[in-house]
Amino acid sequence: MIGRSGNPTLSDNTFDRFDSAHDPMTIGGTVNKAFMTLALLIAAAIVSWTMYFNGYNVGGLAIGGAVAGFILALIISFKPTAAPYLVPVYAVAEGLFLGALSATYETLYYGITMQAALITISVFIALLIAYKTRVIRATENFKLGIFAATAGIAIVYLLSFILGLFGITVPYLHDNSLIGIGISVVIVIIAALNFVLDFDFIENGAQQGAPKYMEWYGAFGLMVTLVWLYVEIIRLLAKLRSRD
């Protein structure tokens, strides 16, 4: 499913296998599914957030949510027909992870969760406006560039995880040095630009008459980008505030 779209869950050839559906995918339907998915994610995040501040150990929820979300994302990516059933579960898993993660950062830096959420929403709205007004266009070169950058970041994170198992730390990736902050800024920008490719994917799917279940798949792609962007923003803010 990885093609010229920067978001690895959404690619240009995803719709090639489909003939025009009797009950086709629509942009409005995808937006509705996205809001439903976001509502589930926020509800689950509130649960793990509340448990954390009530004194419960939510480490298991965070790890379990992250692992379950990763596995579900792989399944959904390679089997879009399962999206209507698995995307809501994915949203809950990611919500449990994000709630626990956010609560941990909030304990260290008061108000950081609200800052990260507001910045994430603002970036989403700004890029949606830029896309609708054609200030930013999802050209083939643009898609290829974002895909290459996204894949590169994924490889670096994978290497960082593997090396971390042996006690080896990748320089600058997680520290609050100026170089480390600069790296985080670049990652945030790449994550944000994936929204443009998500919008383009959904628009193309609606125009080509993809099946109705692809609305859930489009919503899933948006959630993948949203979660990634939020995590990168809260990490960047933590780096900045740790320098104070």
Rounded-to-integer distance, Cα 214 and Cα 146, Å? 23
- The β-bridge partners of 24 are 211
Per-residue tens of pLDDT for the chain, all 244 residues: 333 344 555 554 555 555 555 688 999 999 999 999 999 999 999 999 999 999 999 999 899 999 999 999 999 999 999 999 999 999 999 999 999 999 999 999 999 999 999 999 999 999 999 999 999 988 999 999 999 999 999 999 999 988 888 888 888 888 888 999 999 999 999 999 999 999 999 999 999 989 999 999 999 999 999 999 999 999 999 999 998 7
Q: Tell me which DSSP letter residue 1 carries.
A: -
Would you state the pLDDT for residue 43?
97
Q: What is the largest CA-CA distance in the chain?
A: 58
Query: Which secondary-structure segment (H or E) carries 200?
Result: helix 178-207
Residue found by looking up tokens 């898609």 in the block? 143
User: 193: closest CA among 124, 140, 117?
Assistant: 124
| CA-CA-CA-CA dihedral for 42, 121, 229, 67, to nearest 10 | 10
Q: In this structure, are residues 72 and 86 in contact, taking their beta carbons and an 8 Å threshold?
A: yes
Rounded-to-integer distance, Cα 219 and Cα 89, Å? 13
3-state SS, residue 211: strand
Query: How many C-beta atoms surround the C-beta of residue 206 within 10 A?
Result: 20
| CA-to-CA dists, residue 150 to 53, 83, 104, 111, 154, angstroms | 34, 23, 27, 29, 6
Residue type, 125: I
Per-residue burial over 207-233, b = 16 or more CB atoms within 10 Å of its CB, e = otherwise: ebbbbebbbbbbbbbbbbbbbbbbbbb
Would you state the pLDDT for residue 166?
86
Q: In this structure, are residues 220 and 9 in contact, taking their beta carbons and an 8 Å threshold?
A: yes
